[in-house]
Amino acid sequence: MQEKVFIHPELGTFHLRLALRLDWSEMDMFGHINNVMYAKYVQAARVNYWEMVGLNSMFNQSHEGPLLASIQLQFKQPLFYPGNIAVWSKVKFIKNTSFGLTHIILNEKNEVCVISDDIIVMFDFNKNEKIRVSDWMRKKIEEIENTTEL
């Protein structure tokens, strides 16, 4: 049975989960999953979150959408093939033109392997400038996060 939430003692409750299978080709010469792959897993989770909010559709209609400004990865322990992981994601903050996502990668034993933080800027790709986080977007994120405290 798939968990509906993940609660981290310091980072709080995560509501959005992406399950991924580790692939043999992702290993490095030391026998564990290469560090660059963690960024790929976080990217998959980020895009999954964007799709849940509706940002991909927004971009396709208006050429306005999210732009990754920063990513930080904190490696806690290695991952090994074969295996499966869960990437849990949550919004950390929403400002006027940006928002932050936190991701946690768990191995099959539910041990934290990576904590990642993204900063995403909302952007008008036609005008090449930042735009405000819309009210509908805030509302959709609050629905996903099951809170009105962001």
Q: Can you give the residue ranges of every domain in the chain?
A: 6-145
Instruction: Please state, in angstroms and rounded to a whole number, the distance separating the CA atoms of residues 98 and 114.
Output: 23
Give the model confidence (pLDDT) of 12-58 as tens digits.
Answer: 899 999 999 999 999 999 989 999 999 999 999 999 999 999 999 99
Phi, psi (5° rounding) for residue 63? 60, 30
Q: Which CATH number fits domain 6-145: 3.10.129.10, 1.10.1200.10, 3.40.50.720, 3.40.50.300?
A: 3.10.129.10
The pLDDT-based confidence of 1 (bands split at 50, 70, 90) is very low
- Mean pLDDT, range 77-97, rounded to an integer: 96
Record the pTM: 0.92
Instruction: Please state, in angstroms and rounded to a whole number, the distance separating the CA atoms of residues 106 and 119.
Output: 21
Return the number of other C-beta atoms located less than 10 Å from residue 123's C-beta: 20
Can you tell me which residue has the tokens 């036609």? 126
The pLDDT-based confidence of 2 (bands split at 50, 70, 90) is low
Q: State both tokens at 96.
A: 């006027």
